[in-house]
A and B are shown apart, each in its own frame.
Chain A
Amino acid sequence: NAGVTQTPKFRVLKTGQSMTLLCAQDMNHEYMYWYRQDPGMGLRLIHYSVGEGTTAKGEVPDGYNVSKKKKQNFLLGLESAAPSQTSVYFCASKNGGSDKTQYFGPGTRLLVL
């Protein structure tokens, strides 16, 4: 199993450009999450999904949208990138049982100029 994978690994955008980050998991997990990590801020939840087609806002959702059309994929979109969205983005997934563990992908490093 590959676990949680993310593409791309690194991207540079200009202000105003759009892009989509892809997260995929092969563990048949029900829940998926998008976080951003900034220096001194820890991991902050952007959006999450509690099932196919169901998404919800996290702590810092503004400027982002998500799509969950398949169980194994969770897309994070930036419609109009801003320099404040320069960050490292992590996807995570969790199964639907009592296990609270979230499994993380390797991250996508985004620089918005």
Chain B
Amino acid sequence: GQQLNQSPQSMFIQEGEDVSMNCTSSSIFNTWLWYKQDPGEGPVLLIALYKAGELTSNGRLTAQFGITRKDSFLNISASIPSDVGIYFCAGQLKNSGGSNYKLTFGKGTLLTVNP
């Protein structure tokens, strides 16, 4: 199946630092979503992006839909301990053959914040 390359796989940062992670693909996507998964919980949506070039913020989080439609990034500013978790990107392929209800997920970025 289609792959999303998400990087980095893991990050260990100090409280207060900014964080950046991204997803790239060789395929074009119509939609990019960013989820966060807290330990022992299911993923929760953080930000949804629907247009190329779109830049959207949610509190200290900012995400952008790449102009080429093949990538997206997520930034977290001034990290705090509760930012700990796994961050997933997910996208819907442009040429999904009518399967506009399936998402392709990245493998996740594990974020650890040291107080």
Contacts and interface: CB of A to CB of B under 8 A. Distances in A.
Contact of A100 (B6, B41, B92): B92
26 contacts: A4-B42, A41-B107, A42-B6, A42-B88, A43-B43, A43-B105, A44-B105, A48-B102, A58-B102, A90-B42, A92-B42, A94-B101, A100-B33, A100-B48, A100-B50, A100-B92, A100-B103, A101-B33, A101-B45, A102-B90, A103-B45, A104-B42, A104-B43, A104-B44, A107-B41, A107-B42
B106 interface: yes
A45 interface: yes
Interface in B18-48: 30-31, 33, 35, 40-45, 48
B97 interface: no
Contacts of B31: 100
Interface string B84-112: 00001010100000001111011110000
- Name the prevailing secondary structure of the A interface residues: strand
B1 interface: yes
Interface size class of B (residues with CB under 8 A): 20 to 34
Interface of A: 4, 31, 40-45, 48, 50, 58-59, 90, 92, 94, 99-107
B96 to A, nearest CB: 11
B42 A31 contact: no
B41 A59 contact: no
Nearest to B100: A100
A44 B1 CA distance: 10
Nearest to B42: A104
A107 B41 CA distance: 7
Q: What 9 pairs between A and B have smallest CB-CB spacing?
A: A104-B42, A42-B107, A43-B105, A100-B31, A31-B101, A104-B43, A42-B105, A106-B42, A100-B92
Counting chain A CB atoms within 10 Å of each CB, the highest count among B42, B43, B92, B102 belongs to: B42
Contacts of A4: 42
B92 A40 contact: no
B107 A59 contact: no
Counting chain B CB atoms within 10 Å of each CB, the highest count among A43, A59, A94, A104 belongs to: A43
Given A42-B88, A42-B106, A100-B103, A90 B1 contact: no
